[in-house]
Amino acid sequence: MLAEEQPQAPLGPKASLQELHFEIEQLDSEYAHVLDNEHYEEFLDFFVEDCLYRVVPRENHLLHLPIAAIHCESKGMIKDRVYAARESTMAEPRTLRHFISNVRVLEVGDEAIRAEANVLIVQTMINRMTDILLSGFYLDRIVRSDGRLRFKERLCIYDSLLLPTSLIAPV
């Protein structure tokens, strides 16, 4: 078992809900920063080994349909995805920017924190104006592992039924 998988109380003894909320906002801000700058090695560090990362249309999520734009059942699968994103030479260069807001802590359990946040991602391609890539929300299971909060599960549930064909990188 890796060090980061040692279970720790997600909410420390003295942490208030407000402090926890602040920590989750910081986690989301760092997450946004890492993806907006394509720091994919650091992106991997946001997840524990045994994790779930999915990018799925809201309709499919509500109807429990399995189809997802991205589906990774482990950190290894996320690593593969990141490699594909980096090596893809077919994709036109673009800059993404994440706006993660309205964090809601749903449950502070013994094993994980369940939280939600709205997300708007805009995309700028070379010589074009900035467009909306997707809107949606993150649905998370967060654990404290190896001294910081990490995702046991992060679902990015987006509002459009259209798959953005350009969705190659993680979001």
Tell me which residues touch a second copy (CB under 8 A).
18-19, 21-22, 25-26, 28-30, 32-33, 36, 58, 95, 97-104, 116, 118, 120, 122, 124, 126-132, 134-137, 159-162
Q: How far is the CB of 151 from a second copy (least distance, A)?
A: 17
Is the dihedral angle over the CA atoms 80, 73, 137, 57 positive or is it negative? positive
Looking at this protein, which amino acid is placed at residue 83? Y
Q: Which residue, 52 or 122, is less far from a second copy as judged by CB?
A: 122
Token pair of 146, please?
């190896």
Q: How far is the CB of 104 from a second copy (least distance, A)?
A: 5
Q: Which residue, 5 or 19, is less far from a second copy as judged by CB?
A: 19
Q: How far is the CB of 139 from a second copy (least distance, A)?
A: 12
Q: Which residue, 51 or 117, is less far from a second copy as judged by CB?
A: 117
Q: How far is the CB of 124 from a second copy (least distance, A)?
A: 4
Instruction: Assess contact for 136 and 157: CB atoms under 8 A.
Output: yes
* Strand positions, DSSP E, 22-112: 47-57, 70-72, 94-108
Distance from C-alpha of 100 to C-alpha of 106, rounded to nearest angstrom: 16
Q: Which residue, 72 or 115, is less far from a second copy as judged by CB?
A: 115
Q: Which residue, 43 or 75, is less far from a second copy as judged by CB?
A: 43
Question: Residue 38 phi/psi, 5° resolution?
Answer: 55, 40
Query: Count of residues for the chain?
Result: 171
Distance from C-alpha of 64 to C-alpha of 56, rounded to nearest angstrom: 10
Q: How far is the CB of 101 from a second copy (least distance, A)?
A: 5
